[in-house]
Amino acid sequence: MVRAGTARAATWPGVAALREKLTTFVVVTLVTLTIWLFAEAESLGHESLPCTVEIAAADSSRDVSPTTGWDGRVTLDISGSRRALEQVRDLLSQPVRLTLPSTMPEGEQSLDLLEAMQVSESLVRSGVTIESVRPLRAGVLVQEIVTRQVPIRAELPGVQVSGQIAVTPDKADVRLPRVLADRLGDALAVVARVPSDQRSRLDQPGPVAVQAEIVLPESITKERGVQLLTQRASLAFSIKSTLTTANFAFPVQVLTLPIEWGDWTVEIRDEDERLNVELTGPSDVIDRLKSPEERLIAVLALSSDDLAKKATSKDASFGVVRDGVFSPLPAGVQVKADRRTVRFEVKKRGEP
């Protein structure tokens, strides 16, 4: 028994030595792997990476835009550590903003994209080296931006106003390129429109006060560098009447000199005997034209020359017969006809 115990005790120093060797091996392996990974991350690499560039001015008094059809896309040839290249891939997933110096002259300029990218703060911080850029240059237009106060014009379609429209404020602030401002001059104005949620207030005659939305005229909405700074204005006015639109059928009647009528006959084509017309005007006027007392007609006036030449078509005019007297349509009524031309045949009486 004493010998067996002595033999078991003698094996423990060998186990401890083996464990120490295993621990040392693991530690050395981990250190070696860490050094290798670090060295791999810091080893140099080269890549060509696409990215999008946004060009901006250094201050708000200028605007910069491409002039050569360049869409802002470039390809960068870069070098650096693999860690830096990995960071740059993430960085280039978003547009790179290039800020041009305030000293760049106004007008069309040729921008050196390589030079601009090499001083880009975000790319400099990444630690990579930009070796080349494709395309190498891009045309840009540098414009001075100014602020102008321009008149506000109220737009009230479908409303007939009595007197003046009071607009408060009467001018709006607009930021735009100085060249555009000089070209437009006094013709530049913005439009005040009543929003849809307040249109119901324009249905009845009488005084009205509304808050209007200010919008740019369509002629400059697509111009670069234009910004409307004044968004709303108050409008005060008195509604005389509202406008309405209605459709009417005008029967065509021939008008000639009495001396000619006995010598000629005029036959209007069946499809042209009535003309469909859309009338827009004050509601009370349109309602009156709908009454039986008002007889609407389209007058085909033929002169002696028209009859002698045996004309075959002519435009008609529109009017109203009231108490047996023909008169033009009331002032303020707008006419929109599908067509005005009447086709007919002229014959001299007695001819076969």
In a domain, residue 34? The reply is no
Residue type, 285: V
Task: State the pLDDT at residue 35.
Answer: 46
Q: Does residue 225 share a domain with residue 153?
A: yes
Q: Does residue 155 share a domain with residue 81?
A: no
Phi then psi for residue 152, to 5 deg, are: -105, 120
Q: Does residue 234 share a domain with residue 265?
A: no
In a domain, residue 286? The reply is yes
Residues 6 or more apart whose Cβ sits within 8 Å of residue 254: 266, 268, 300, 302, 344
Residues 6 or more apart whose Cβ sits within 8 Å of residue 279: 245, 246, 247, 248, 286, 289, 329, 333, 334, 335, 336
In a domain, residue 254? The reply is yes
Task: State the pLDDT at residue 41.
Answer: 40
Buried b or exposed e, range 167-189, using 16+ CB within 10 angstroms: beeeebebbbbbebbeebeeebb
CATH for 131: 2.170.120
Q: Does residue 335 share a domain with residue 259?
A: yes
Q: Does residue 307 share a domain with residue 254?
A: yes
pLDDT, mean of each 10-residue run, the chain (352 residues): 46 62 57 46 71 85 83 87 82 86 83 86 81 88 92 87 91 94 92 86 82 93 91 90 86 88 89 93 85 90 92 94 88 88 90 66
Q: Does residue 266 share a domain with residue 213?
A: no
d(CA 31, CA 40): 14
CATH for 261: 2.170.120.30
In a domain, residue 258? The reply is yes
Task: State the pLDDT at residue 131.
Answer: 87
Domain ends where: 135, 159, 189? 135
Is the separation of the CB atoms in 296 and 248 below 8 Å? yes
CATH for 233: 2.170.120.40
d(CA 237, CA 265): 55
Task: State the pLDDT at residue 12.
Answer: 54
What is the tally of structural domains in the chain? 3
Is the separation of the CB atoms in 270 and 245 below 8 Å? no
Phi then psi for residue 27, to 5 deg, are: -60, -45
Fill in the DSSP letter of residue 95: P
Q: Does residue 167 share a domain with residue 87?
A: no
Q: Does residue 162 share a domain with residue 126?
A: no
d(CA 347, CA 267): 8
Is the separation of the CB atoms in 86 and 78 below 8 Å? no
The label of the residue with tokens 């190498």 reads 136
Task: State the pLDDT at residue 16.
Answer: 67
DSSP string, 126-184: HT-EEEEEES-EEEEEEEEEEEEEEEEEEE-TTEEEEEEEEEESSEEEEEEEHHHHHHH
In a domain, residue 27? The reply is no
Domain ends where: 207, 241, 275? 241
Domain ends where: 190, 222, 241? 241
Q: How many other C-beta atoms lie within 10 A of the C-beta of residue 201?
A: 12
Report which secondary-structure segment, H or E, holds 242.
strand 232-255
For the chain, the maximum distance between any two Cα atoms, rounded to a whole number of angstroms, is: 161
In a domain, residue 291? The reply is yes
In a domain, residue 304? The reply is yes
Task: State the pLDDT at residue 174.
Answer: 96
Domain holding 212, by residue range, is: 147-241
Question: Would strands 206-215 and 232-255 be described as parallel, antiparallel, or unpaired?
Answer: antiparallel
Q: How is residue 44 written in tokens?
A: 């140099």
Q: Does residue 248 share a domain with residue 336?
A: yes
pTM more than 0.75: no
Q: Does residue 329 share a domain with residue 251?
A: yes
